[in-house]
Each structure stands twice: as C-alpha cells, then as structure tokens.
Chain A
Amino acid sequence: MTSVKRKDSSTSTDETDSDEEVPSNTIGSDIPLKWYENHDHIGYDLDAKKILKPISAGKTDDIDEFLEKMENADYWRTVYDDLTGQNITLTNEDISLIQQVKNAKTNPDDQVYEPWLDTFSSEVMIHPIINTPESKASFIPSKWERLKVGKYLHAIKMGWIKPVPPKEDPLLSNNYDLWSDEPKTNLPRSNIPAPKLELPGHHESYNPSVEYLLDDAEVEALKTKMESDYDENERQTKTIFVPKKYSSLRQVPVYDQFVYERFQRCLDLYLCPRQKRLKANITNINDLIPDKPKPQDLHPYPIVQSLIYEGHKNMIRCLTCHSTGQWLASGSDDCTVRIWEIATTRCMNVFQFDKPVVSLQWNPVLSLLTVATGSQILMINPKLGENAKTLFTEEFVKQLSYDASNNDDCQWSKTSDETDKYIRLTITHSIPVRQIEWQARGDYLACVLIPRSDQSQSKSILIHHLSKGRSQYPFKQLKGAVQNVRFHPTKPIFIIATQHSIKIYHLLKQQLIKRLYVNTKWISSIDIHPLGDNILCGGYDSKINWFDLDLSVKPYETYRYHKRAVRCVRYHTKLPLFASTSDDGTCIVSHCSVYSDLLKNPLIVPVKILRGHQIINDLSILDCLFHPTQPWIFTSGADSTIRLFTN
C-alpha cells in the first residue's frame, strides 16, 4: 500500500502544490470517481496518456486490511482520498484542525476581529451629493387625487359607499333573549326525542361496594360476550365497563373511553334510526293472565296416580273400556290383547295374535271386543260381566249371515265355540288396518285401512254392517291420507280427519257438511264431544285445536301447551273434561264446560298435568281413555304400563 505523508497543513488544501511524485488528480473534482471504477487508469496526463491507478489504491480485501491495521501504527490516521484514489496519512496539524471543527471551536490562528471599515459614515458631509432643487409638483396638491377624492366624497354623500360594518364574531352572537316572544308552532313533523343518557348505577362509582367488583373470570366472560355479540354490519357502540375501586379520590385517573363514548353518543344522535314504540305499561305481571276459575273449583278431575297395570311386554297402543266401567282392554305391540279388571289390576285374559294390535274397541251394545291386528279385524267375546249379555251375543253371532263372496277386499268368517273359545268373527282385509270405530248403536263398524300405493285413497275407509254382514266403501274418492275417523254420537254424521283437514259428512244425505280449517300440519287424533257440537283435534306439531261447529269452521281456540307431538285427545263421555297426551310424558286434563246457550262460549281451563310414564325412544303416552262413569283416566305408554289416575 502506498501512502502519502502530508508535509504541511497550508499546502494540504492546495492541490496544485502537491508533490511531484504524487500523481495529481487530473480528472477534476466534479467528476465522480466511480466512473473510473471499471478502468485501470484514472484520468490523463498532459501528454494525453493514461494515468494508471495505483496498484492497491482503493478497496483491498479484508485480510490486507486487517494486516495493515495490525502492522501500521498510523492506520488510525490514514484516510482514503476519493479524488486521487490514494490513502493519505493525516498529520498532527490536520487532526487538531479536525478536532477543532468537531468541537465547533475557531482556529486560534484565524483573525476573528477584523478591522472595521466605516463606509457609511455618520459624519455629515459639507456638500450634498445631489444638489437639485425640489420640483414644483411636490408642493402642489395633485389634481387627479382631488378628482378621485371628490368622487368618493360624492359617493359617500349620496350614500353609495357605506362604512364597513364592524365584524361580528360568529361565536358571540347569542347575547339576546331568543325565547322572548310566544312559542312558534311546532316543527312540521313529529319529533321523536332521543332517549336520555342512562344514569350511573352504584357499580360506576369510583369507590363502589365490594360486591360490584368483577373478578377475572367475569371480565373475561364480559369480553367474550361482547365478541360474540359483535356484528360486522352494525356500528359498535358499546364499550366494556369494568368497575374499579380506588381507595382515595386522588388516585382516580381520567376515563380513557370518555371521549369515545361521547363520540358514539353523537353518532347515535344523528345516525341512529328512531322509531316510536308503544311500551306496554305492565305493573303487575298477573294482569296478563286471563281471569278464569281456579282448578280447585272445578272438581272432580283425575289428580293422583292410583293403579299401574303391568304385564305387557311392549308399548301399549290402544285402550278400551267396557261400558259398565269394570273391564279394561289394552292392545300392545307385543301382539297381545289383555283384559284387566279395573279395580284390582288383575289381568283376566290374554289373547295372543301374530301382528301388533293397532286398535281395539268394545262394541257399545254387545259383548264383543273388536281388535284390529295386521290386516284383520277380530271380534272376541271375552265372556265377562253379565252372563245374559254374553249368551245374547253368542246367539246374535250364530244367527248372523253374510255373503262370503261379496267383496274381494274383505272376507268375513265365523268361528264357532268348538274351534276357538273366544274369537267369534274375523274380517280379513287385503291391506293393513289402522283404526276401527264403532257407531254408537253398535251396528256399524268404521275401519281405516292403509291402502297400497297403487290403490286409491278412497279404499282407506271401509264400513262394516255387522247385522247384515256387509262391507262397503262409502267414498268414491278421497283426498289425503286418512288419519282418524269418528261417528257422531247421535246423528248419522261421519267425521274424517286426513293429514291436513277435517271433513264432516252426512251419511244419509251422502254429502259433505263441513270442512274444518285445521291449524296443525299433521293431525294425529280427533275426538268429538259427547253432545256432538265440538271437535277436538291434536297434531304432531304439538298443537291442539278446539272447534265449535256452531260457531265457525276455524278453530275456536288453539293450545300449544305440549312440548312434543300430541298423540291422543279424548273427551269424557259424562263429565266436562278432556285430556290430551303427548310425547313429552304429560297428560294434560282440562275442564271444558259446554253450554247449550249459543251465546255463551265454552269455558276451557287446564286443571291438571299428569305425569308418570317414562319416555322411551322419544315416545311416552300413546293413548288415554276416560273411565265411562268416573272422573278417572287411563293412560297407556311406551313403557308398557297402563296407569290409572283418579280424583
């Protein structure tokens, strides 16, 4: 590495005075050195020959740099000169100068106090520099100015120019009584005042009682709740307020959300849509409850569970009670029908079949228990109760005659005492039976079938005439799957409940009387009031409709008090009671007084919620039945028990 030692500080600044052997910078100070980076020369001499770069000028590799650093004692004062491309070792004078500049000191050698040259002297000269006399015009008032002033004067006199009114400060314009006169008419609109700010509660105090303070979990819960409530589409206005306790007033800092809250309030005032809302002013919540008699005043009705009839192995789908009120028959999914003595829960008889029993009913007149199982209807004489009646039934069945070949869809067959002890009559259909229903006089048996998909819906209702041994389809065409049918208790009227509607037909006139608009999506069961004017209808969507046939074809009332599907609705034959059972395991008994006076509405009051059945596979109480004479109710359920509730 070549290095140049500066000899004198005075010559160092002057490039022309640099030493002979040093290659002077001929490229000029304006030219950046980096233009020569890629060349091996640097500028030209007077003979227009290239001045070659010093070999190791400029950048060397790191090892050389390091060795230089280690070996050269003057390394610290060696600097690289961009202009010449050489390393220069600074002299002591140079360094002291640099230090002076760094410390912002003046050079002690420099002349700080230069001599003062008084160019513009304060001394007045004897002779003026310019000695021309002043012009006449400077003494005479200007004519043009006079004319101009005259014009202004005229304008002022004429009132064309007015003095500039004193400027009003827009901030201080309110020093008068704005409301001195009578109030003006209201705004041309209905003003909805903004709700006032909520006043602070105890928890907002700087020193609240301890119970208002939140622990970490509660604060966390608040935050998560706020995050969960966050809606991107809506403006976020709420801030989390965490109560804090300060032991003294001087420790209370400024509330950092204060400005933000005020801002949100401002936004609320001009951005929030306002709406007038009528608020229900309810001082007492009991005002909402309609005034109805208390259940205690509406006795008798079933209250307590008294007996449990056990014996079935599977869920019990149907119940029927003998008209004397002594016997109860039940049909179950374990393909049996059991007959119970009501008072003792003793199982009197068991009939085993091949298929589950879907429906059964006692003949109102004869001692015939009618059972629907699979596609068969069986009439059983259980030989209970009065002997005379049993014998009469036997005789009646014996003298029955029927046309065996009258219908392909159903086959009647009699069984005598020799072949079977109990079963007297069998009607076999080609398709499964859903429900059977005796007419009140016990001669006609309506039967709901489940038609195959290729059959018309009109095949779903079949009426058997027992005394004549005949069967017939009463309807040529029917819409909708039939769910349930009922005979009117006194009149020749037939009620069909399809999935969505209830139709009432007159059997003699053979015409549709009424079609009821049902509120449910899928009717599960219907029942008709013993007086025949009211119909109850339960649905799988947990609704119960009460129809008053005299009043309207729309439901008089709809109840939604069951939480699950309603399976069965029943009236009591003698007492003003009805019950509904549901999959939620409850049977709700209601009082229903129906008045003969057409102006008086029926009085319906739920009086008791009966529980007891277990819920198995989302099924609980499947059927219920009132005792024919007593205020008792039987319920049969999916837990294969029958329960009797008495008053």
Chain B
Amino acid sequence: MQKKYKKGAAVNYISRNQALRKLQLTLSDFRRLCILKGIYPVEPKNRRKANRGRLANKTYYLAKDIRFLTHEPIIDKFRQMKSYLRRLTKARARKEKTREQALRNNRPFYKLDHVVRERYPSFADALRDLDDCLTLVFLFANFPLLKKLYEPRLRLCRRLSVEFLHYVIASGSLKKCFISIKGYYFQAEIRGEIITWIIPHKLGHKNPADVDFKIMATFLEFYTTLLGFVNYKLYSEHGLIYPPKLTFTPTTSSSTLCSEDEFSDEFLASLGLPIMKKPELNPVDKIEIDQEAAQLLGDTVADEDARKKEEEAKTLQKLFSKCKFFISREVPREMFAFAIRACGGDVSWDKTMCAGASYDVSDQSITHQLIDRPKLHEMAVNRVYVQPQWIFDSINARKLLPVDNYLPGSVLPPHLSPFVEEKEGDYVPPERFGQRKPDNDIEEQTTNKAPSIDLVNSNAYLNGSLKRKRTENEETAPKITTKEERKRAMRVESGQVQSVNVSNIVKRKANEERRLVEMTIPKKQKRLYDKIKFSQKKKRQEVDKLKRKRADYENNTIQDVTNDKKKLMKLS
C-alpha cells in the first residue's frame, strides 16, 4: 500500500523553513538568492495536502525549485563573503593594516551572467521581462547618491539608462508616451515586444519611509547585469558601436575642469547627438530580411496589417523630421530631448543648462520652442512657441497637432493616456475623439463632435415625442368608450385615465424574461454569471458617474461664460 504523504502535493511543495534548512542558508541570504534566481513562492492547489494535513499559514516553494537552487555557485560565494567579513573584522580589530589591505584586494564577488542566461534562455524572454528592470534602473539613475546604495552602481544605472535611450532613439522604436503624476511613461516596441517604463519626475527628492533599500539593491544588482547584456545585444544587432560613441568628438579645449571621458559621457547623456554606427553594416541585409518576412507572411491580411503597422512606425519615426526644436530652461530637458529625437527631430537647449547643445536660441532655423512659462518677453516671429505637452500629444496622435491649444499661457486640453484601449461601454472623454483617428483635422473634429450632440438631442426629442404620442393615445381611447358606457351602466363613475408607462412595462417584461432565463443557468456557471453581471454593473455606475461629472462641469462653464457676457453687457 502506498504510504501517505510520499507522493503528490506533500512532496511537491516545500515550506520556506524547510527550504532554509535544506540549503543551510540564513533567511536574508535565501531571500537574496531567491531575488537573483527569480524563485518565487507558489500557491499549492490544496494547502492542507501540501502541509500534510495541517492547515498552518505557510509560504510554499516548489521542491523542484529548491533542489535547483542547491547547485547554485552563488551560494558558495555567499559563504565566502561571510568568512571574508569575519576575517576583515578580525584584521581590523588587530590593526593589521597589510592583512586588511590584502583581504580587501581579494574581496569575493559574484557574477550574475549565468543567472541571466538561466532565467532568460532566449533574448526574447529577456525583452519580455524588461519592464520592471527598466523602471527600477531609471529610478536609481535619477536617484541622489545616497550612502545606503553603492555609488558605482548608481552611476552604472545612469550609464545603462542612457545607453538604452540612445538605442530607442537610434532604432526609432518609441511608440507611446504619457506624462503622469507618477512620472513619464514611455512605451517602445523592440523586436515585437512591447516594453513600458517609467522615468520619475525630478523636482524634489523625498527620502521614502518604509522602504528597505537592501532588497531594492539586490534587485538592482540583477537588473543592471540584465540590462547590460540586453543593451549590448540590442546595439550589436542594430549595428551600433557598444559602448556608444558620438559621431564626433566634443572639443574639450574650453574645459579643463573634467577629464575627457567624463566630458564625452556628459555629451552622450544629453541625448542630443547621434551615436556612431558600425562601419561594416551593409544595407542589403535589411532588404533581404524584409523579403523573407514577406514570404513568411503569405497571408495577405496579415501582410497588409504588417504593412500598415510598418507605415505607422515610419510616420512616427519621421514625425518631427522637418522640425527644429529648442528647449527652454524650465522644461524637463532629458525627457523631451529623448521624445523629439526618437521621432526624428533636431533638438538643442541653452549651453549653460547642459552639455551637448548644438545650436543657440538665436538660430533662425528653429521652428518650435518649448516653453513652460506664461509669457516670454522676446519672441521671435519665425518660430512657434508651444507648451511641452504638445510633443507628447502629437506623438500619441501620430501627427503634428494644431498648436492653437498649446500656446504659452493658454489652458491646455486634457492630456489623455494613450494606453487606454476603449472597449464597448467604457467611458470615453470627449477630447479623445480628436486623437483617435489619425487623419482627421480640426474641422473634422468639430464635425465629429457635432453629430454626437445632435444624436443626443434628437434622441431626447424622439423620446419626448414618443411619450407625447402615447399619452395622447391613452387619453383618446377611453374617451370614446366612456360616453357609451355611461348610458348603459348604472353606476359607473368617470374613471381616471390610467397612466400607463409603456416603456416601463416593456422594461419590466424584459427584466422578467431575463430573470427567468437566469433561473435556468446551472449553479456552476451562475457564480461566474453573477460576477460578470456585478462587474458590468459597477463599470456602468462608474461610467455614469464620470458622464454626470462632465455634464455638471460643462453646465457650470456655460453658465460662467453667460454670466461673464452679461456682466460685460452691463458694463458696456
């Protein structure tokens, strides 16, 4: 007979404490290992079975995962580190300087290359999991150099993030961008993978409470390694030189305050200048790839879709190609320089603001200047002054939007998220109509808006007329009969017209029918059905609330406008 707990969930899952005992690690080391190796707890299908009949609240890992961890060379490095620290403290306490120095020189370190390869067997896997990596790296790239964090790693974050941005610029793979309260969201499509990352706002750093930087640092350790490899692969595949180099060497003769490397790094980090490509890249390759792709995609529909997509990408890449931008001091330079360059524009800024400025404010060829202040005293005639939101809205709309709404000091139109995909029944802000269709102009927008209003009005009108008709019918029908009946019947009081609300009756009938149908749903699916119904109801309520708020706001503004007009009239 099979003994109990020798098979199945009881041996497939292992609790955390058991895992610690098996690996002979401390909890903190185990956590580090789990972070680096990407091992996570799992929820067993049946907790009682996994815990051999007991129902204690435990964290479970897959026993296979833990067995897999036992062969990890990093564990040995952890142990070496432990003994290293012990030796170091001993040497320090004995004030043995030479020994201490020797120890420090031989500090054990571990490399995570094999872990990256293990976790992401193919490059596509790595790209798929890049969201968290990029967001964390960008967060620490913009972090002040704290003592809590290892300073060279922060500098590495900065370097890697700049490299990645340069790749996005060079490959033109930026798809969407969005300014949120949390930060700047960017979305790029790299080798078919959608990658989204957030760059936090920069004004004012608050030291966060309740955050354990040790854990974040462990994550960062892995993510920097991963992003380094990803960057290298991306650069080499796109025919770019890695580490990136500018196409020209910036002249350092004017500055003697920093080394040449630092100076060129700063130029690179400014994102304003193109980076060097590998000389041996021949353009024939690309065409071949395209043909192959076309052959593979024999299906015409898919082919057409792909072509459309490609076309869209091309338009986006050349969106700002005819524009020359100048960024004022008050505008967050890095984000906008990146967005403009990723869409093919030229960009510069004030020389004193950052290195890498390629032209001056007074340049006559500048077409657009981004400013974020209500007024500018000296304005050039031959350029457009716009607020920075215009850039992001234009990228999301895939066309150069009319600048009328974005002039300095004007009230900006709402900045909408490009990530929202409207489904049926969702609330769509009215401003969305203008952005959704890429080809329509302002006039079309107005026409677009107009029918919607008309529809609403006409609907209201129809409803009203219908109601009126019905009431008339109800009134006329009994009137004819009452006269005859009065003569015949003995005690018939003049009855009141029964107010029959036909729509209500129809609604009630439909409701009843629905209820009857719902009765027939089997129990298993009833729960699901009820859940869906509930969520639909919640969503509808939410949408209604938004609509109501919008209507209220619009009414108020109209009233305000009319009030103002009246005041003006009175004054005049």
Report A's interface with B, CB cutoff 8 A: 167, 170-179, 183-189, 192-194, 196-197, 199-202, 204-212, 233, 243-244, 247-250, 252-263, 265-267, 269-275, 280, 282, 285, 288-290, 292, 295, 558-561, 588, 605-609
Q: CB of B546 within 8 A of chain A?
A: yes
Measured between beta carbons, the chain B residues less than 8 angstroms from A258 are 139, 182-183, 200
CB-CB under 8 A from B517, the residues of chain A are: 289, 292
Report whether A288 and B525 are in contact in the complex, using a CB–CB cutoff of 8 Å: yes
Contacts of B228 in A (CB 8 A): 172-175
* Residues in chain A near residue B56, CB distance under 8 A: none
B132 near A205 (CB under 8 angstroms)? no
A-B contact pairs, 12 of them (CB 8 A): A171-B152, A175-B228, A187-B121, A189-B68, A199-B185, A199-B420, A201-B417, A202-B414, A211-B550, A259-B139, A270-B31, A606-B520
CA distance A186 to B388 in the complex (A): 46
| Least distance between A306 CB and chain B CB atoms (Å) | 17
Contact between chains at A265 and B211 (CB < 8 Å): no
Determine whether the beta carbon of B411 is less than 8 Å from that of A247. yes
Q: In the complex, are the beta carbons of A282 and B40 less than 8 A apart?
A: no
Closest to B123 in A: A179
CA distance A177 to B229 in the complex (A): 7
Q: Is there contact, CB below 8 Å, between A295 and B211?
A: no
In angstroms, how far is the closest chain A Cβ from the Cβ of B13?
10
Considering only CB atoms and an 8 Å cut-off, how many residues of chain B contact the other chain?
112
> Chain B residues in contact with chain A, CB under 8 A?
31, 34-35, 39-43, 57, 59-60, 62, 64-65, 68, 105, 109-111, 113, 116-123, 126, 128-129, 131-132, 135-136, 139, 152-153, 156, 178-183, 185, 196, 200-206, 208-212, 215-216, 219, 224-225, 228-229, 232-233, 236, 242-243, 330-332, 372-373, 387-389, 411-412, 414-417, 419-420, 429-431, 512-513, 515-523, 525, 528-529, 532-533, 536, 546-547, 549-550, 553
A196 to B183, CA, bound (A): 18
Task: Let me know if A270 and B131 touch, CB within 8 A.
Answer: no
The answer to whether A254 and B200 touch across the interface, beta carbons within 8 angstroms, is yes
A274 and B211 in contact, given A249-B179, A254-B200, A609-B516 (Cβ under 8 angstroms): no
Q: B232 to chain A: which residues have CB within 8 Å?
A: 174-178
Q: Which 9 A-B pairs have the closest CB atoms?
A: A174-B228, A199-B419, A209-B414, A275-B43, A183-B122, A211-B549, A259-B208, A170-B109, A211-B550
CB distance from A56 to the nearest CB of B (A): 58
Q: Are A254 and B429 in contact (CB under 8 A)?
A: no
- Shortest C-beta distance, B90 to chain A (Å), equals 23
- Closest-CB distance, A641 to chain B (whole angstroms): 22
Contact A249 B205 (CB under 8 A): no
- Could you tell me the distance between the alpha carbons of A629 and B43 in the complex, rounded to whole angstroms? 61
CA A461 to CA B242, docked complex, whole Å: 96
Chain A residues, CB < 8 A from B31: 270
Known A-B contacts A200-B178, A274-B40, A561-B519; the reply to A208 vs B415 at CB < 8 A is yes
List the B residue with the shortest CB-CB distance to A265. Answer: B132
Partner of A206, one of B330, B415, B523: B415
Partner of B225, one of A174, A187, A197: A174
Residue of B nearest to A186 (CB): B121
Which of B179, B203, B411, B532 is the one whose CB lies under 8 Å from A254?
B203
A253 and B203 contact, CB distance less than 8 A: yes
How many A-B pairs have beta carbons closer than 8 Å: the answer is 265
- Inter-subunit contact A210/B131 (CB<8 Å): no
A204 with B212: CB separation less than 8 A: no
Q: B546's contact among A211, A263, A269, by CB below 8 Å, is which? A: A211
Give the distance to chain A from B127, nearest Cβ to Cβ, in Å: 10
Contact B202 A290 (CB under 8 A): no
For residue B229, give the distance in angstroms from its CB to the closest CB of chain A: 4
Residues of chain A with a CB closer than 8 A to B196's CB: 196-197, 199
**Residues of chain A with a CB closer than 8 A to B65's CB:** 189
In the complex, are the beta carbons of A201 and B419 less than 8 A apart?
yes
> Does B420 contact A201, Cβ atoms closer than 8 Å?
yes
Contact B68 A187 (CB under 8 A): yes
CB distance from B118 to the nearest CB of A (A): 7
Q: Which residues of the other chain, A, contact B41 by a CB distance below 8 angstroms?
A: 271-274
Contacts A176-B232, A254-B205, A260-B211: A282 and B532 contacting too (C-beta < 8 A)?
A: yes
Chain B: minimal CB distance from A604 (Å): 8
Complex contacts, B242 vs chain A, CB 8 Å? 175
Which residues of chain B have C-beta atoms less than 8 A from A206's C-beta? 179-181, 415
Check A248–B412 contact: CB distance below 8 A. yes
> Which one of B39, B180, B536 lies within 8 Å of A200 (CB-CB)?
B180
A601 CB to closest chain B CB (Å) equals: 13
Residue of A177, A250, A270 contacting most chain B CB atoms (<10 Å): A270
Distance in Å: Cβ of B393 to nearest Cβ of chain A = 10
| Candidates A177, A199, A282, A606; contact of B528 at CB < 8 Å | A282
> Is the CB–CB distance between A173 and B113 below 8 Å?
yes
For the complex, give the distance between the alpha carbons of A288 and B525 in Å. Answer: 7
Q: Are A290 and B521 in contact (CB under 8 A)?
A: yes
Taking a contact as CB atoms closer than 8 A, the residue among A179, A266, A606 that contacts B216 in the complex is: A266
Q: B236 — nearest CB in chain A belongs to which residue? A: A177
When the two chains form the complex, which single residue of B128, B178, B216, B373 contacts A263, counting CB atoms closer than 8 Å? B216
A202 touching B185, Cβ below 8 Å? no
Contacts of A212 in B (CB 8 A): 546
What is the bound-complex CA distance between A258 and B424, given in angstroms?
32
Which of B57, B332, B419 gathers most chain A CB within 10 Å? B419
> Distance in Å from the Cβ of A139 to the closest Cβ of chain B?
31
| A608–B202 alpha-carbon span in the complex (Å) | 65
C-alpha gap A173/B59 in the complex (Å): 35
> Which residues from A are CB-within-8-Å of B529?
285, 288-289
Pair B516/A606 contact, Cβ less than 8 Å: yes
Would B116 and A178 count as touching, CB distance under 8 A?
yes
**Distance between Cα atoms of A171 and B217 in the complex (Å):** 13
- Residues A205 and B182 in contact, CB atoms below 8 Å apart: no
**Bound-state Cα–Cα, A588 to B520, Å:** 13
Return the contact of B513 from the options A207, A262, A295, A559 (Cβ within 8 A): A295
Chain A contacts for B415, CB-based, 8 A:
205-208
B224: which of A171, A201, A254 is its contact (CB, 8 Å)? A171
Using known A-B contacts A255-B200, A270-B34, A273-B41, determine if residue A609 contacts B416 with beta carbons closer than 8 Å: no
B64 in contact with A289 (CB, 8 Å): no
Q: Is the Cβ of B412 less than 8 Å from the Cβ of A207?
A: yes
- The answer to whether B429 and A202 have CB atoms under 8 Å apart is yes
- Given A272-B40, A274-B40, A274-B43, verify A200-B521 contact (CB < 8 Å): no
Q: Collect the chain B residues with CB atoms within 8 Å of residue A167's CB.
A: 105
The answer to whether A187 and B118 touch across the interface, beta carbons within 8 angstroms, is yes
Chain B residues closer than 8 Å to A261, beta-carbon distance:
182
Chain A hits for B119, CB < 8 A: 187
How far does the alpha carbon of A262 sit from the alpha carbon of B153 in the complex, in Å?
A: 18
Give chain A nearest CB distance to B97 CB in angstroms. 19
Contact B520–A292 (Cβ < 8 Å): yes
B43, B120, B211, B516: the one contacting A608 at CB < 8 Å is: B516
**Contact between B521 and A289 (Cβ–Cβ < 8 Å)?**
yes
Q: CB-CB < 8 A to B153: which residues of A?
A: 171
Most central of A188, A189, A608 by chain B CB within 10 Å = A189
CB atoms of B419 and A171 under 8 A apart: no
Cβ contact within 8 Å between B62 and A189: yes
Partner of B330, one of A183, A211, A233, A250: A250
Given A200-B419, A263-B216, A272-B41, A178 and B513 contact (CB-CB distance below 8 Å): no
Closest to B210 in A: A260
Give A584 to B298 CA distance when docked, in angstroms. Answer: 63
> Residues of B contacting A559 with CB < 8 Å?
519
Extra 8 A-B pairs, beta carbons < 8 Å, given A208-B415, A209-B416: A170-B110, A183-B121, A202-B429, A211-B429, A254-B204, A255-B181, A263-B208, A270-B40
A560 touches B523 (CB 8 A): yes
- Closest chain-B Cβ to A602's Cβ sits at a distance in Å of 13
A208-B415, A209-B429 known; A273 vs B131 contact (CB < 8 Å): no
* CB-CB under 8 A for A255 and B183, given A250-B372, A271-B41: yes
Separation of A185 and B125 alpha carbons in the complex (Å): 13
Please state if A247 and B412 are interface contacts (CB–CB under 8 Å): yes
Q: How far is the CA of A13 from the CA of B416 in the complex (A)?
A: 83
